Structure 1
């Protein structure tokens, strides 16, 4: 993960934490890559509810 991307991930995570919310995704065409990218960031377990890949 590049540092620019990591910065945007952490700012989104901070916003979710501040709102008391979490991210959940449903993916079909990208084989879970969005979930993988989010879960790879530090602190993701606090803001990632999970994903479904169909």
Structure 2
């Protein structure tokens, strides 16, 4: 951190927007929390692999 972001338009070498993202950036903190929650949900919803289940009787 920080992350410096430049936005360029198509076929243009001039940056139209500039933004610095640091630890206090509210959007970045919200994005991190949502990403973290999404990863937890994704892993929790994965099925167990066949080799980890007890053998069928």
TM-score past 0.5 threshold: no
| TM-score, with structure 2 as normaliser | 0.30
Please report the TM-score for the alignment, with normalisation by the length of structure 1.
0.32
